[in-house]
Amino acid sequence: MNIAVCNVKGGVGKTTTSVYLAAVAAERGEDVVLVDADPHASSAIWLEERPLDGVTVVEAPSERTLTRALRSEGTLVVIDTPPGDERLVRASIAAADSVVIPTRAGGVEFPRVATTLEMLPARTPRGIVISSARLGTNDLAETIDWWKKEGVSIWGVIPERVAIAAGPEGRLHREGLDLYADVLRKARARR
């Protein structure tokens, strides 16, 4: 199964989400391929600094390399996508069985999520993950209400945590892994 992690906006938690989704599946003994379609190679660098048993990284920063990477064998292929590069995002979406859309809370984020949603084929299962969320804030409540009204599923709310912000500088965060495990379950249930 291929899961693409997409949002045309930058800095919304795509790489963090991709690494955590790959990690939770690998923790269960699955063979995971993490395809890094971002020329900045953030996922690849993260896994280089902190390798994860069961996760193989394939760097694929062009349409040509992405097409080849998507032929990888694995029970799960997670695709981390770059912001802004519409061609690479579209190629990732075309290969996806399910699309996870990370976003921050707040109304300014809605249009970019909407743009990302418009890129998806009608039948592709999709869900939003609110990353770096401040629990109990109006911004978070409004964001959840907004997407509910729009009929878009929210597959996860990941609180803002110093340990998650540390990225490859620290170990993966247990609470984060548990919450992302739930996101993975939802992304798979929609097949």
Ligand X SMILES: Nc1ncnc2c1ncn2[C@@H]1O[C@H](COP(=O)(O)OP(=O)(O)OP(=O)(O)O)[C@@H](O)[C@H]1O
Binding site for ligand X (CB under 6 A): 10-16, 38, 42, 83, 131-132, 158, 160-161, 164-165, 167
Decide: is 15 part of the binding site for Mg ion (CB under 5 A). yes
Pick from ligand X, Mg ion, none: which does 48 bind, CB < 5 to 8 A by kind? none
Residues 32-91 that bind Mg ion (CB under 5 A): 42
Q: Are strands 32-36 and 76-80 parallel, antiparallel or unpaired?
A: parallel
Indicate which of Mg ion, ligand X, none lies near residue 50 (CB less than 5 to 8 Å, by partner kind).
Answer: none
Q: How far is the CB of 5 from Mg ion (least distance, A)?
A: 9
What residue is closest to Mg ion based on CB?
15
Is residue 107 classed as helix, strand or coil in its secondary structure? Answer: helix
Check binding of 14 to Mg ion (CB under 5 A).
yes
Please name which of 158, 154, 187 lies closest in space to residue 173, comparing C-alpha atoms. 158
Of 43, 96, 86, 32, the closest CA to residue 63 belongs to 86
Contact partner at residue 56 from ligand X, Mg ion, none, CB < 5 to 8 Å by partner kind: none
Q: What are phi and psi of 51, to 5 degrees?
A: -60, 150
Nearer Cβ to ligand X, position 145 or 160? 160
Minimum separation from the CB atom of position 173 to ligand X (A): 8
**DSSP letter at 53?**
T
Of these partners, ligand X, Mg ion, none, which one is at the site of residue 167 (CB under 5 to 8 Å by kind)? ligand X
Q: Which option in ligand X, Mg ion, none does residue 103 bind, with CB closer than 5 to 8 A by kind?
A: none
Which CB, 15 or 143, lies closer to ligand X? 15
- How far is it, in rounded angstroms, from Cα 134 to Cα 138? 9
2: exposed, middle or buried (Cβ count in 10 Å: 0-12, 13-18, 19+): buried
Distant-in-sequence, close-in-space partners of 22: CB < 8 Å, separation ≥ 6? 32, 34, 52, 55, 76, 78
The CA radius of gyration of the chain, in Å to the nearest whole number, is 15
CB closer to ligand X, 8 vs 29: 8
Interface residues toward Mg ion, by CB under 5 A: 14-15, 42
